[in-house]
Amino acid sequence: MKKALLTALAASLLLACRAPEVKGVQAAAEALGGKDKILAVRTLTITGEGENPNLGQNVTPDAPLTVWKVTEFEQTIDLEKGRMRIEQVRTAQFPFALATTARQNMALDGDVAWNVNQDGTSTRLTEREAQDRRLQLLHHPVTILRAALDPTAKLSNSRKQGDRQLIDITTAKGDMLTLAIDTITRLPVSVSSTTDQPNLGDVLIETSFSQYEDFGGLKLPMRLTTKIDKWVQSDIRVSKNTVNGSAADLAAPAAVSAEAPAPADPPIEVTAEQVAPGIWWLAGSGNHRSVAFAFADHLTLFELPESEARAKAVIEKVHSLAFGKPLTEVIVSHHHFDHSAGLRLAVSEGLTIITQSGNVAFFKDLVARKHTLVPDELARNGAAPRIKIRPVDDELVLKDDAMELDLYHVKDNSHSDTLLMGWVPRDHILVQADLYDSGWLKYPWADNLKANVALRKLQVEKDVPIHGTIESYADVLKRMAEKQIEEKQERAGTRARP
């Protein structure tokens, strides 16, 4: 009797001084419809449409992001088995040289993440991508509260931020997220987690929930907006929430789970082809190239693209060519993330960055950012990064006894307004990025390329590109003209249809 009384007393004391984290999670669960309602959700299918802004691909570093319009969106989550599939169809709302409509199928089963390609084949992703997808699964009020209510989850660091209570949650799996709860309605307002973005480094990914509606006693948000750092990455307007519907089988196919996760650093091949005395075109795997120029006492690179790993391989290749001259500078054609991927490595190597003036502030920001989750070379070398930048406004002539390379700002280009192209007067060589690639499906910048060549009065003989293959300029003009005629005919054909 006495013991029972003591136990009851202890329980009530425990209740009275229950941690604010526990109280916060329980209040949020109550606001959503109650713990039992949340735990009864086995599958959830979210159907809707919206937008996917295109990170790191804006016309200038400060311009709004270009946007993929998401016309079909369906996210299915199996909460009991930790599985998820997102299927969506999106269409580019900006000039684009490849397929402007893409169907995506992104899946997760426990620790196995994979994409189903348009041809039906599957590609297993890296362990980090699987972790990111696990976190993504928890960016929903139902999934995060279910994880927070799990007795093995750790709740900590309750704090107030305006009209929100923030609670850190370490899931049973060890993943860390922060839940924000509205202090008035007690409904979850957002979930955030951190990850690495190769260009930006440590970034916060935050999904905000709004426009809650009632589904048989369970409140679910009708709008899900995900930001990476300050940029919106996905904004979905939900048309339908299906709880415990007949979800398709979300299990990883045996062939995918038997496969090892994709390596974090896939092998990169860099080839070197001499295109003129003192000029080497560095191609190889992938479709991002660099061009090396031998000046009298130093080497200059045009572009260090695609990834830090590729940038490293390109620099190694340049050193192996044994010019007996130091590499001192790199031209970064524009700020788009694939083209500026080697920026931080270049700074780490002490190279001077040559770029259009409009990129300078953004490049300084990229160099100053923290990369602690996945440290890159610049983060590892420890010293406070010092960026040496030589900005180009309209034109810059790099010239000595051995080489001349002229750089020009590409005018009136709808893909990038801070783009530089290169010109070698001795050999009539044009070095360009994103104006023309022999492998493109169409040529949205054909007229812009011709206009810029005419503006600078260049008698181009050879195109030595950052994407695609080396071609005579006559062939470039011919291919662009053929495509333009085809496109005109297609448009006319479409119009003629009833």
Residues in contact with Zn ion by the rule CB under 5 A: 336, 434
Nearest CB to Zn ion, comparing residues 317 and 336: 336
Least distance in angstroms from the C-beta of 391 to Zn ion: 19
Nearest CB to Zn ion, comparing residues 157 and 357: 357
Nearest CB to Zn ion, comparing residues 54 and 75: 54
Q: Which two tokens stand for residue 141?
A: 């009020």
Least distance in angstroms from the C-beta of 305 to Zn ion: 7
Nearest CB to Zn ion, comparing residues 109 and 434: 434
Is residue 421 within 8 A of residue 432, CB to CB? The reply is yes
Least distance in angstroms from the C-beta of 433 to Zn ion: 6
Sign of CA dihedral 373, 65, 54, 266: negative
Nearest CB to Zn ion, comparing residues 385 and 468: 468
Nearest CB to Zn ion, comparing residues 336 and 371: 336
Nearest CB to Zn ion, comparing residues 310 and 336: 336
Residue number of the CB closest to Zn ion reads 336
Least distance in angstroms from the C-beta of 450 to Zn ion: 19
Least distance in angstroms from the C-beta of 338 to Zn ion: 6
Report the distance separating Cα 318 and Cα 169, nearest Å. 47
Nearest CB to Zn ion, comparing residues 423 and 436: 436
Least distance in angstroms from the C-beta of 430 to Zn ion: 16
Beta bridge partners of 218: 215
Least distance in angstroms from the C-beta of 333 to Zn ion: 8
Is residue 303 within 8 A of residue 339, CB to CB? The reply is yes
Nearest CB to Zn ion, comparing residues 235 and 437: 437
The single-letter code of the amino acid at 137 is L
Nearest CB to Zn ion, comparing residues 219 and 336: 336
Sign of CA dihedral 45, 42, 206, 60: negative
Beta bridge partners of 92: 68
Cα–Cα nearest to 94, from 118, 62, 119, 58: 58
Least distance in angstroms from the C-beta of 197 to Zn ion: 17
CA 448 to chain centre: 27
Report the distance separating Cα 171 and Cα 173, nearest Å. 5
Least distance in angstroms from the C-beta of 410 to Zn ion: 11
Is residue 436 within 8 A of residue 449, CB to CB? The reply is yes
Least distance in angstroms from the C-beta of 332 to Zn ion: 11
